[in-house]
């Protein structure tokens, strides 16, 4: 029998969920996207997603304040709603409380949760609190809604579509590197910027809303949580396509460029596989692109064309600055096991 490490997260999910028939006729998308989608009324879809953060796996109490953790826990779930073109509505929170957790930690955690919920107009509507003998964990379930006809999924990219990403890539994983490596050369301004990208990610709800309201035809979308390569593979796998992205077009922040250069660090692994960017990665039929740029500029939101969807035999490839074309390896996701 295989072991968990060999199966990987996605292999395990396929194995465990494979037997389930999806018999509920009102379920539009059961598994395998950022949210499950179902229908309860004619005009809109209901979105739901759940995510757990476990101490010493997803965060270390020594590097994130409880208030930041609360905000981030909500933000990463909001990002799943944004990835489908949805509007977040409600949240349920399960806390697994270990012995060393104090009330003041929980007060601060909820201060962060409360801030994020107020800011994004999301209601806390339930949850569970249990004790967990060793590690603290928090599980968030988020509910949202999307208009029919304006639901973006991972499936639907077509050969010739342009690939875009919001924001800049790699900042969050470089921020994490700074937290764990005190030796890195880094100005206090760069440090502040990169840590903020890691500790306090902004879910791209504004950008998602621009896309749902725009006349551009978004053909697929995902949020970059596992890294650009991984999440682009998800789009290509579900759409039955390949993709080509250009190294020179990958958007990087000033701080990211500076810290990588000052430390002679390779930037590409962070950009491609770093994860936790929580930017939106989406594909678009090429007509109407000018309109898109105008709308993003008006909203002061960053969007970058980074490549094209190709036929599936071309795999997911990267054109390096030196002209070399490499096939990006398939991975089984951030391997928890």
Least distance CB 216 / its own copies (angstroms): 28
List the interface residues with its own copies, window 228-287 (CB under 8 A). none
List the interface residues with its own copies, window 94-113 (CB under 8 A). 94, 96-97, 101-104, 106-107, 110
| Cβ-based nearer residue to its own copies, 121 or 187 | 121
| Cβ-based nearer residue to its own copies, 30 or 156 | 30
| Cβ-based nearer residue to its own copies, 110 or 246 | 110
Q: Which residues touch 55 (CB under 8 Å, ≥6 apart)?
A: 61, 98, 135, 136, 137
List the interface residues with its own copies, window 135-164 (CB under 8 A). 135, 137, 139, 141, 143, 145
| Cβ-based nearer residue to its own copies, 31 or 327 | 31
Least distance CB 115 / its own copies (angstroms): 10
Least distance CB 278 / its own copies (angstroms): 16
List the interface residues with its own copies, window 30-69 (CB under 8 A). 30-31, 35-36, 38, 40-41, 44, 46, 48-58
Least distance CB 37 / its own copies (angstroms): 9
| Cβ-based nearer residue to its own copies, 49 or 310 | 49
Among 65, 114, 184, 312, binds its own copies (CB under 8 A): 114
d(CA 73, CA 193): 19
From residue 197, alpha-carbon distances to 60, 111, 205, 269, 280 in Å are: 16, 19, 16, 17, 15
| Cβ-based nearer residue to its own copies, 60 or 325 | 60
From residue 279, alpha-carbon distances to 27, 119, 302, 310, 336 in Å are: 27, 19, 10, 22, 22
From residue 333, alpha-carbon distances to 56, 82, 202, 225 in Å are: 18, 21, 22, 10
d(CA 259, CA 278): 21
Each residue 172-201 as x (binds its own copies by CB under 8 A) or -, in order, gives ------------------------------
Least distance CB 143 / its own copies (angstroms): 7
d(CA 174, CA 78): 22
* Residue 158, both tokens: 């077509």
| Cβ-based nearer residue to its own copies, 35 or 174 | 35
Least distance CB 49 / its own copies (angstroms): 6
* Residue 173, both tokens: 């994983």
Among 61, 132, 304, 312, binds its own copies (CB under 8 A): 132
Listed ranges 2-10, 193-201, 286-294, 311-319: which one lies at the site for its own copies (CB under 8 A): 2-10
Listed ranges 18-26, 196-204, 230-238, 306-314: which one lies at the site for its own copies (CB under 8 A): 18-26
Listed ranges 14-22, 150-158, 201-209, 235-243: which one lies at the site for its own copies (CB under 8 A): 14-22
Quick count: other Cβ atoms within 10 Å of Cβ 173? 22
d(CA 28, CA 9): 23
Backbone angles phi, psi at 28, to 5 degrees: -85, -45
DSSP 48-115: EEEEEEEBTTTB-TTTS-HHHHHHHHHHHHHHHHHTTT-EEEEEEEEEEE-TT--HHHHHHHHHHHHH
Of the candidates 29, 52, 274, the residue with the CA atom closest to the CA atom of residue 265 = 274
With tokens 């949760």, the residue in question is 113
Q: Does 16 bind its own copies (CB under 8 A)?
A: yes
Phi-psi category of residue 166: left, alpha or beta, with phi > 0 → left and psi -120 to 50 → alpha: beta
- Residues that bind its own copies (rule: CB under 8 A) add up to a total of 73
| Cβ-based nearer residue to its own copies, 54 or 319 | 54
């Amino acid at each position: 029998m295989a072991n968990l490490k060999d199966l990987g997260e996605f292999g395990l999910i396929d194995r465990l969920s494979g037997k389930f028939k999806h018999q509920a006729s009102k379920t539009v998308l059961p598994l395998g996207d950022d949210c499950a989608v179902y229908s309860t009324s004619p005009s809109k879809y209901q979105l739901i997603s759940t995510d757990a953060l476990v101490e010493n796996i997803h965060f270390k109490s020594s590097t994130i304040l409880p208030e930041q953790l609360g905000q981030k826990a909500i933000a990463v779930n909001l990002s799943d709603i944004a990835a489908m073109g949805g509007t977040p509505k409600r949240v349920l929170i399960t806390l697994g409380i270990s012995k060393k957790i104090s009330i003041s930690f929980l007060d601060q955690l909820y201060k962060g949760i409360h801030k994020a919920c107020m800011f994004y107009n999301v209601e806390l509507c339930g949850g569970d609190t249990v004790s967990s003998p060793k590690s603290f964990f928090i599980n968030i379930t988020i509910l949202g809604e999307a208009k029919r006809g304006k639901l973006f999924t991972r499936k639907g990219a077509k050969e010739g579509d342009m690939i875009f990403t919001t924001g800049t890539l790699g900042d969050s994983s470089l921020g994490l590197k700074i937290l764990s490596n005190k030796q890195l050369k880094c100005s206090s301004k760069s440090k502040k910027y990169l840590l903020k990208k890691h500790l306090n990610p902004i879910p791209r709800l504004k950008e998602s809303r621009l896309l749902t309201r725009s006349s551009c035809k978004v053909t697929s979308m995902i949020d970059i949580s596992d890294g650009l390569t991984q999440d682009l593979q998800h789009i290509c796998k579900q759409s039955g396509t390949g993709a080509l992205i250009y190294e020179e077009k990958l958007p990087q922040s000033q701080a990211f460029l500076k810290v990588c250069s000052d430390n002679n660090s390779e930037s590409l692994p962070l950009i491609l596989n770093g994860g936790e960017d929580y930017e939106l990665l989406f594909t678009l039929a090429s007509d109407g692109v000018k309109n898109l740029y105008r709308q993003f500029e008006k909203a002061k939101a960053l969007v970058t064309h980074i490549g094209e969807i190709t036929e599936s035999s071309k795999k997911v490839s990267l054109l390096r600055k030196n002209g070399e074309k490499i096939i990006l390896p398939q991975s089984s996701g951030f391997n928890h096991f």
